[in-house]
Structure 1
Amino acid sequence: MRTIEDIAETFRLLCRNRAALAGLVILGVYVFVALFPWLLAPNDPLKRDLALRYQPGFWAGKEFARFPLGTDYLGRCVLSRIIWGTRTSLLVGVIAVSISTGLGMFLGLLSGYFGGWVDIALMRVVDILFAFPSILLAITIMAALGPGLEKAMIAIGIVYTPQMARVVRSVTLVIREMEFIEAERALGASHARILLHHILPNVLAPAVVYATLSVAGAILDAAALGFLGLGAMPPAPEWGAMLSGSHKALTSGAWWAVAFPGLAIMLAVLGLNLLGDGMRDLLDPRLRM
Structure 2
Amino acid sequence: MTVTKRTFPRFLRFFDRPSLSMQLMAVGLVITLFFVLVAILAPTFQAWGWLPNPTESLSNPIHEAPSWKHWFGTSRQGYDVFSRTLFGSQAALQVVILATTLSLIIGVPLGLVSGYLGGRLDRVLLFVMDTIYTLPGLLLSVTLAFVVGRGVLNAAIALSISYIPQYYRVVRNHTVSVKTELFIEAAQAMGADTWTVLSRYLFLNVIQSVPVLFTLNSADAILTLGGLGFLGLGLPDEVPEWGHDLKLALEALPVGIWWTTLFPGLALTLMVVGLSLLGEGLTEFVNPRLRKGIRN
Q: TM-score, normalised by structure 2?
A: 0.88
* Alignment pair present for 1:132 and 2:108: no
* Alignment pair present for 1:44 and 2:53: yes
**What is the aligned partner in structure 1 of residue 278 from structure 2?**
275
The one-letter code matched in structure 2 to 1:20 is M
From 262, 265, 277, the equivalent of 1:262 is 265
What secondary structure sits across from 2:272 in the alignment?
helix
Call closer, same or farther: CA 1:281–1:152 in 2, change over 3 Å.
same
Alpha carbons 1:14, 1:282 under 8 Å: kept: no
Call closer, same or farther: CA 1:276–1:15 in 2, change over 3 Å.
farther
From 171, 176, 184, the equivalent of 1:173 is 176
**What is the aligned partner in structure 2 of residue 27 from structure 1?**
32
**What is the aligned partner in structure 2 of residue 239 from structure 1?**
242
What secondary structure sits across from 2:79 in the alignment?
coil
Distance in 2, Cα, partners of 1:286 & 1:268 = 28
**Root mean square deviation of aligned Cα:** 2.2
From 69, 84, 87, the equivalent of 1:84 is 87
Gaps of 5+ in 2: 2-6
Distance in 2, Cα, partners of 1:80 & 1:196 = 45
Call closer, same or farther: CA 1:154–1:211 in 2, change over 3 Å.
same
- Deviation at 1:247? 1.3
What secondary structure sits across from 1:54 in the alignment?
coil
- Deviation at 1:130? 1.8
The one-letter code matched in structure 1 to 2:45 is L
- Deviation at 1:166? 0.8
- Deviation at 1:204? 1.7
- Deviation at 1:131? 2.7
Aligned-pair identity in percent equals 37
Call closer, same or farther: CA 1:14–1:243 in 2, change over 3 Å.
farther
Alpha carbons 2:58, 2:80 under 8 Å: kept: no
Distance in 2, Cα, partners of 1:50 & 1:162 = 48
Distance in 2, Cα, partners of 1:240 & 1:15 = 40
- Deviation at 1:186? 1.2
Alpha carbons 2:145, 2:234 under 8 Å: kept: no
The one-letter code matched in structure 2 to 1:242 is D
- Deviation at 1:107? 1.5
Alpha carbons 2:71, 2:82 under 8 Å: kept: yes
The one-letter code matched in structure 2 to 1:140 is T
Distance in 2, Cα, partners of 1:244 & 1:263 = 14
Distance in 2, Cα, partners of 1:14 & 1:50 = 56
Distance in 2, Cα, partners of 1:26 & 1:113 = 39
**What is the aligned partner in structure 2 of residue 209 from structure 1?**
212
Alpha carbons 1:46, 1:236 under 8 Å: kept: yes
Distance in 2, Cα, partners of 1:15 & 1:135 = 40
Distance in 2, Cα, partners of 1:49 & 1:188 = 70
Query: Residue by residue, what CA displacement relative to the aligned partner does 1:112-166 show, whole Å, maximum 9, x if unpaired?
Result: 1111111100011112212321111112222221222210101111111111111
Distance in 1, Cα, partners of 2:112 & 2:220 = 23
Of Structure 1 and Structure 2, which has the larger fraction of its residues in helix?
Answer: 1
- Deviation at 1:51? 3.9
Distance in 2, Cα, partners of 1:107 & 1:101 = 10
* Alignment pair present for 1:53 and 2:58: no
- Deviation at 1:285? 2.0
Distance in 2, Cα, partners of 1:173 & 1:199 = 10
Query: 1:188-207 counterparts in 2 under 5 A?
Result: 188-207=191-210
**What is the aligned partner in structure 2 of residue 75 from structure 1?**
78
What secondary structure sits across from 2:141 in the alignment?
helix
What secondary structure sits across from 2:207 in the alignment?
helix
**What is the aligned partner in structure 2 of residue 105 from structure 1?**
108
Q: How many residues align?
A: 278
Distance in 1, Cα, partners of 2:61 & 2:203 = 56
Alpha carbons 1:14, 1:278 under 8 Å: kept: no
- Deviation at 1:14? 10
The one-letter code matched in structure 2 to 1:27 is T
From 225, 233, 239, the equivalent of 1:222 is 225
* Alignment pair present for 1:154 and 2:157: yes
Distance in 1, Cα, partners of 2:39 & 2:98 = 14
Which segment is superposed worse, 76-85 or 44-53? 44-53
Alpha carbons 1:227, 1:243 under 8 Å: kept: yes
- Deviation at 1:15? 9.4
